[in-house]
Structure 1
């Protein structure tokens, strides 16, 4: 266990042995710092979240994030962030994760001038889709899929992170949308209470693939603060008719690029019941016959999403040859070869941007008094997965 701590003296050990290296990032759910033990070189990512920023209806999501990640870690699932341990003091929650040295997909896009090669899109989204399908197979919706929530390890493979919005469909109540606004699907933009389904995540995956493969986010020209205007645009959005991408469809467009746009069109279906990942997938490529390859993502065994990864984009190169290694065993053993990454040392954090905290962001100023289970003010009973 990190720092060799027991539940009873975790904060005392942390105060004595933890060194803060730098701020890695910040977001709506808290801030993340790069830390290490005083006499060791291995870094960790420490996520800190102030308890007073967590609404009562989101307490379950915060606990479920740690529960889901621990379940995936125990199973040895390769495409999820790894939790070392979690703790809390009087005011804050702390989750200590393995430091994923490659940064995140959003930062990678920035370094690549906002567009990835087709091979890179195929590699990253193969692992992203397998990771998302695994979360769905546990009975959870992610609800905030976006490039910034896809980490890249030092080995080049992805880790899905920031699961603080996960929720079970059967437990749903009518919340306001919690997805990042430019990844919100049409069904969550109406002026009525929203109910989430697995289709929410597949809409976001379609947008992410389009953004990474074309360099253009379809809603990037709209001010994200103009919520009503943006939501109205999303409700009426039709990818096939979007003139931003019409120049990419021509006789010289490579086959795998056309297949990417074909897949995106299926995922950006306005009706959630007809969206790819939810609807049956009919493969018409085998001797002209229609073959239904659907496997429902709510199934307990749906660790390998055959109905999505059997789409021609994932199966065929531009010259028509088969993509090698596109099978369950190879993918889950991290057998696909990732784009190369180079680091100077284990403490190299160059894949993360320089970040400054605003006045409303959660700042780490040392560990406070321990949360007392006997005192209501500490809210310790609300977060049982965060040891005290």
Structure 2
């Protein structure tokens, strides 16, 4: 682990014996901030995620997020450049230094197109879906699930390739629930860590004796695919209106008719968003289906976004 020193001069910090210059704030959440910094040793831009840690549990969760990043060396999963814990008296901040993606997230792209009255083409959607599936396949292969897949957690590289980020909600893929207390604890955890409009039905009302598995990610991926097709997630408006998302996800989703999309793509999103998790296709199956729909053989690029 690197050691972050105090601010050395106005707007610079040191991580792993390398100095970084603060450029601007990129965003903030409930207990974290993301800043744009420049490495003075290489001239590259990075995103510095600072997580406020009030308790030991916060520190452990931040360490776990860093560990999740380090598990993977995959082009469709965000890699960790450096990690350190910074102490400020009794307060602590976990610092995750991450690559900076100037194009932002998939949601940024969807919004940009909507502002112009446009949408992603089916070829673009399939290319993005292919990369997301490959990232999820790598996560599932190691026995984990992402648990918070959504368009704002998918970055876009310079050539439009999707990169999965925000691994703070990742946990073991298969969770054996034995008893009502464990079921309620998992349900409460999901309410805090899994975005409501992309959360799988089985996480809203966890059964006392069941297995929650990586198929929660397949549901979320279906919601992401829907958002790429129609410019918003299938339950975004339900949530914004204040209606019950928990109730809405219990009914089979109706996919709007659109001349922009093939019947195969419509069938694909419908299969992912089946209420019964055991009826959803596994990621390797989805991957082969998406590859079969590609206009060019995998590895050759169609038009980028």
Q: TM-score range by the shorter chain?
A: 0.7 to 0.9
Q: Deviations over 1:149-197 (max 9, x none)?
A: 1111223322111000110135666422121000011111127679631
Instruction: Pick the structure with more strand per residue.
Output: 2
- 1:72 equivalent in alignment to 2:37: no
Give the direction of change, closer, same or farther, for the CA distance of 1:191–1:72 in structure 2 (3 Å limit).
closer
Give per-residue Cα distances to partners, 1:116-163, cap 9 Å, x unaligned: 111110011100011011011111110000001111122332211100
Give the direction of change, closer, same or farther, for the CA distance of 1:36–1:180 in structure 2 (3 Å limit).
same
- CA distance in structure 2 between the partners assigned to 1:195 and 1:183 by the alignment: 19
Give SS of 1:89's match.
Answer: strand
- 1:190 maps to which residue? 205
1:49·1:92 contact (CA, 8 Å) conserved in 2?
yes
Gap regions ≥5 residues in structure 2: 177-181
Length-normalised TM-score, structure 2: 0.81
How far, CA to CA, are the matches of 2:85 and 2:224 in structure 1?
34
Alpha-carbon distance between aligned partners in 2 of 1:61 and 1:273, rounded to the nearest angstrom: 30
Q: Is 1:309 the counterpart of 2:274 in the alignment?
A: no
Q: 2:45 — aligned with what?
A: 43
Give the C-alpha shift of residue 15 in structure 1.
Answer: 3.2
Q: TM-score scaled to structure 1, two decimals?
A: 0.65
Give, in angstroms, the shift of residue 21 of structure 1. 0.9
Q: CA deviation at 1:232?
A: 1.2
The 3-state SS of whatever aligns with 1:63 is helix
Bigger radius of gyration among the two: 1
Provide the aligned length of Structure 1 versus Structure 2: 278
- Larger relative contact order (CA 8 Å, sep ≥ 6): 1
Secondary structure of the 2:169 match is coil
Distance in 2 separating the partners of 1:233 and 1:316: 30
Distance 1:224 1:62, change over 3 A: farther
Q: 1:69: how far off?
A: 1.9
Structure 1 pair 142/106, CA: closer, same or farther in 2 (3 Å)? same
Equivalent position of 1:376 in the other structure = none
Q: Does 1:272 align with 2:277?
A: yes
Decide whether the 8 Å contact of 1:61 with 1:165 is kept in 2. Answer: no
